[in-house]
Amino acid sequence: MKSCDSQQTDLQAVPTPAPIPPPHAASRGPRGARRKWEVFPGKNRFYCGGRIMAAQQSGVLPLTLGLILVTTGLFFIFDCPFLVKHLSSCVPAVGAVLFVFVFITLLQTSFSDPGILPRATPEEAADVERQIDSSGDSSYGPPPRTREVVINQQVVKLKYCFTCKMFRPPRTSHCSLCDNCVERFDHHCPWVGNCVGKRNYRFFYTFIVSLSFLTSFIFSCVSTHLAMRAQDGRGLVSALQESPGSAVELVICFFSVWSILGLSGFHTYLVASNLTTNEDIKGSWSGKSGDVASNPFSHRNVFVNCGSVLCTPLPPSLIDRRGFLPEEEEPAQTCCTDVQLPASANNTQRKCSQGRKGLLESAAPSPLQSTSCPQGEPQTVPPGPRRPSPADSEPTRQASNGCRAQHSAGSQGNASSARHSHHKSRMKKHKEAALSISNPTSHGPVAPTCPDSVPTSRGTSSTQA
Partner 1 sequence: MAETHSLQDLRHQAAVIAKVFIQRDYTNGTLCQFQTKFPSELETKIDKQQFEETVRTLNNLYAEAEKLGSQSYVEGCLACLTAYTIFLCMETHYEKVLKKIAKYIQEQNDKVYAPRGLLLTDPLERGLRVIEITIFEDRSLTQ
Residues catalogued as catalytic:
189
What is the Cα–Cα distance from 214 to 267, expressed in whole angstroms?
17
Of residues 143 and 323, the one with the C-beta less far from partner 1 = 323
- Nearest C-alpha neighbor of 42 from the set 113, 110, 147: 113
What is the Cα–Cα distance from 172 to 286, expressed in whole angstroms?
18
Burial class (CB in 10 A: 0-12, 13-18, 19+), 153: exposed
CB atoms within 10 A of CB 181: 26
For the CB of residue 410, give the shortest distance to partner 1 in the complex, in Å: 25
Q: Is 9 in the site for partner 1 (CB under 8 A)?
A: no
Of residues 296 and 382, the one with the C-beta less far from partner 1 = 296
Q: Which of residues 171, 387, 419, 431 is near partner 1 by CB under 8 A?
A: 171
Of residues 205 and 219, the one with the C-beta less far from partner 1 = 205
What is the Cα–Cα distance from 374 to 380, expressed in whole angstroms?
9
Q: Is 311 in the site for partner 1 (CB under 8 A)?
A: yes
CB atoms within 10 A of CB 301: 12
What is the Cα–Cα distance from 406 to 415, expressed in whole angstroms?
16
Asked if residues 16 and 306 have their Cβ atoms less than 8 Å apart, the reply is no
Q: Which of residues 53, 65, 120, 381 is near partner 1 by CB under 8 A?
A: 120
For the CB of residue 129, give the shortest distance to partner 1 in the complex, in Å: 12
What is the Cα–Cα distance from 368 to 126, expressed in whole angstroms?
11
Report 266-305 residues binding partner 1 (CB under 8 A).
296-297, 304
Round the CA-based radius of gyration of the chain to a whole number and report it. 27
Burial class (CB in 10 A: 0-12, 13-18, 19+), 386: middle
Of residues 251 and 318, the one with the C-beta less far from partner 1 = 318
Asked if residues 102 and 211 have their Cβ atoms less than 8 Å apart, the reply is yes
Q: Is 462 in the site for partner 1 (CB under 8 A)?
A: no
DSSP state of 374: G
Task: Name residue 196's amino acid.
Answer: V
Q: Is 310 in the site for partner 1 (CB under 8 A)?
A: yes
For the CB of residue 279, give the shortest distance to partner 1 in the complex, in Å: 12
For the CB of residue 40, give the shortest distance to partner 1 in the complex, in Å: 13
What is the Cα–Cα distance from 378 to 374, expressed in whole angstroms?
7
Q: Is 149 in the site for partner 1 (CB under 8 A)?
A: yes
Report 232-261 residues binding partner 1 (CB under 8 A).
none
Q: What stretch of H or E contains 266?
A: helix 244-272
Q: Find residue 441's DSSP bridge partners.
A: none
Backbone region of residue 196 per phi and psi (left: phi > 0; alpha: psi in -120 to 50; beta: other values): beta
Q: Which of residues 3, 135, 152, 340 is near partner 1 by CB under 8 A?
A: 152
Backbone region of residue 320 per phi and psi (left: phi > 0; alpha: psi in -120 to 50; beta: other values): left
For the CB of residue 76, give the shortest distance to partner 1 in the complex, in Å: 19
Asked if residues 46 and 336 have their Cβ atoms less than 8 Å apart, the reply is no
Q: Is 459 in the site for partner 1 (CB under 8 A)?
A: no
Of residues 76 and 101, the one with the C-beta less far from partner 1 = 101
Burial class (CB in 10 A: 0-12, 13-18, 19+), 56: middle
Q: Which of residues 7, 180, 206, 273 is near partner 1 by CB under 8 A?
A: 206
| Residues in contact with 119: Cβ distance below 8 Å, sequence separation at least 6, in sequence order | 41, 163, 164, 165, 166, 181, 380
For the CB of residue 66, give the shortest distance to partner 1 in the complex, in Å: 21
- The residue range among 76-84, 123-131, 189-197, 413-421 that interacts with partner 1, by the rule CB under 8 A, is 123-131
Q: Which of residues 50, 265, 367, 459 is near partner 1 by CB under 8 A?
A: 367
Binding mask 342-361 for partner 1 (x = CB under 8 A): -----x--x-----------
Q: Which of residues 314, 364, 391, 405 is near partner 1 by CB under 8 A?
A: 314
Q: Which of residues 29, 141, 290, 313 is near partner 1 by CB under 8 A?
A: 313
For the CB of residue 408, give the shortest distance to partner 1 in the complex, in Å: 30
Of residues 128 and 247, the one with the C-beta less far from partner 1 = 128
Report 11-40 residues binding partner 1 (CB under 8 A).
19-20, 22-24
For the CB of residue 434, give the shortest distance to partner 1 in the complex, in Å: 29
For the CB of residue 264, give the shortest distance to partner 1 in the complex, in Å: 15
CA quadruple 171, 174, 178, 182: dihedral sign: positive
- Sheet of 180-182, strands arranged across: 116-117, 180-182, 173-175
- The residue range among 64-72, 117-125, 284-292, 419-427 that interacts with partner 1, by the rule CB under 8 A, is 117-125
CB atoms within 10 A of CB 436: 9
Binding mask 93-112 for partner 1 (x = CB under 8 A): -------xx--xx--x----
Q: Is 52 in the site for partner 1 (CB under 8 A)?
A: no
Interacting residues toward partner 1 by CB under 8 A: 19-20, 22-24, 100-101, 104-105, 108, 117-118, 120-121, 123-124, 127, 149-152, 156, 158, 166, 169-171, 183-184, 202-203, 206, 296-297, 304, 307-308, 310-316, 318-320, 347, 350, 367-368, 372
